Structure 1
Amino acid sequence: MCKTLRVRWTIIPKTAPQPWIACGGCGGLRAFRSSGKIRLNANGRKLDAWLIYKCLICERTWNRPIFERRTLRDIDPLTLDALQSNDPDWVRAETFNLDGLRRKAQRVDEFAEFDIAKEIRHESAGWTRLEIELTAQFATNIRLDRLLAGELKMSRSRLQALHDQGLCRTDPGGADIMRRRVRSGTLVTIDLAMEAERERLWKPLEAGGPL
């Protein structure tokens, strides 16, 4: 039975996507960012909800539709409460709604900067295999190979070589998985049986401890 160090990496994007909208104040396409504020409008038993964005140059506002003319009974009570209270966690999640942005914007800028939280989930004595469970709170623009290479302090060419040799495996898999965006729920397994001083050199990188 393989001896395993199992860790979880939680990826937290720093900057929400920014849509480019025709700005009435600037007179051209401009990047907008979320103000963090919800606007609601009730018409009888129907409700409109928008997330307010502001131009980065002149601060002219744009109301990005969340939904329009929605019957109150068709709105999830938790969603309605979040909208009415302008819940910051709900609003932040909505700012990463790429599908919603792309339906309304001619262009959407995404950003690769992120924070990462690491925790050990299980550690076998004398472990020789590393399992990394990746979770992402929101859609992220970071490629899997860039994430692993940066956090494990190795070149992407070496990482790809490990993948080609079957020493680095992913679930889900695929020939081009390393070049794809990180997906929440991805499991990365690396065989470190031939790596010397795993405990001293590798564990701090994998689990976020001191070097």
Structure 2
Amino acid sequence: MCDTLRVRWTVTPKAAPQPWISCSGCGGMRAFQSSDKIRLNANGRKLDAWLIYKCLTCDKTWNRPLFERKNVRDIDPAILEALQSNDPEWIRAESFNLDALRRKSQRIDEFPEFDILREVLRETAGWTRLEIELVAPLPARIRLDRLLASELKLSRTRLRTLRENGLLRTNPDRADILRRGISTGIDVMIDLAAIADRELSWGPLATGSPR
């Protein structure tokens, strides 16, 4: 639409989940943190791979299995290269593998703090409508209403009022979407035609540009 300011928000958690594991050094359940390092063990054409974690209390290590006794030819070449080079981006993504962590731990601490990168995709003079395209490359433990409230300096009550009045819409359009966690593919559309100073008040918050 020609009257739209469209931005992309890429939301990335600051801290990876921390599983609680029985620590042989402490003698009880403790939180472990990814060391961002991979351990590999080759036995002929078979390969074992682990992501190394450390106890936050005593630094005792725990090796979280990625796979065991897997034939090298059955491993995706890109993954094999990432493992052999300790690729930091691949390791960070794997440290957010909640399904794998849940198979090894009954308790996992997740953290709501995040970084956000704002990009302007389209801006027209005199825009009256704000569109926000969300990208979450890693699982982010933050609800949509809390994200919008914190970044647009609004109360969650104001957000609900905007939605009830048809001024805030989402795609997908779910009744409970504001209370759900964010994910890639969510679009938020806000009609700001009635806000006279929208370019000065809403624009900088949406784009990250200085006032």
Per-residue CA shift, 1:108-135, capped at 9, x if unaligned?
A: 1000001111111001221111100011
Q: Which stretch of the first structure deviates more once superposed, 119-128 or 14-23?
A: 119-128
Aligned-partner SS, 2:30: strand
Kindly provide the CA deviation profile for residues 31-56 of structure 1, in whole angstroms up to 9, marking residues without a partner as x: 00011110111122211110000000
Q: Which residue of 1 aligns with 2:140?
A: 140
- Runs (4+) of structure 1 exceeding 2 A deviation are none
* Other structure's SS at 1:147 match: helix
Q: TM-score, normalised by structure 2?
A: 0.97
Q: CA–CA distance in 1 between the matches of 2:207 and 2:24?
A: 49
Is 1:92 equivalent to 2:88 in the alignment? no
Q: Which residue of 2 aligns with 1:112?
A: 112
Q: Which runs of 5+ in 2 are unaligned?
A: none
Identity of aligned residues (%): 68
Distance, in Å, in 1 between the alignment partners of 2:6 and 2:25 is 52
Q: Is the 8 A contact 2:6 2:131 kept in 1?
A: yes
Q: How many matched pairs? A: 211
Structure 1 residues 2 and 162: CA distance shift in structure 2, 3 A: farther
SS in structure 1 at match of 2:151: helix
Deviation at 1:2, TM superposition (A): 5.5
Gaps of 5+ in 1: none
**Is the 1:7–1:131 Cα contact (8 Å) retained in structure 2?**
yes
For the 8 Å contact 1:2–1:128, the answer to whether it is kept is: no
1:149-168 correspondence to structure 2 within 5 Å: 149-168=149-168
Residue 63 (structure 1) shift? 0.5
Residue 158 of structure 2 aligns with an amino acid whose one-letter code is: R
Contact 1:2 1:129 (8 Å CA) reproduced: no
CA offset digits 1:165-202 (Å, max 9, x no partner): 22111111211100111111211001111111111111
2:2/2:124 contact within 8 Å kept = no
Task: Give me the whole-angstrom Cα distance separating, in 2, the residues matched to 1:68 and 1:191.
Answer: 53
Pairing 1:163-182 to 2, within 5 Å after superposition: 163-182=163-182
* Partners of 1:96 and 1:139 within 8 A in 2: yes
TM-score w.r.t. the length of structure 1 is: 0.97
The CA distance in 2 between the partners of 1:130 and 1:16, in whole Å, is 31
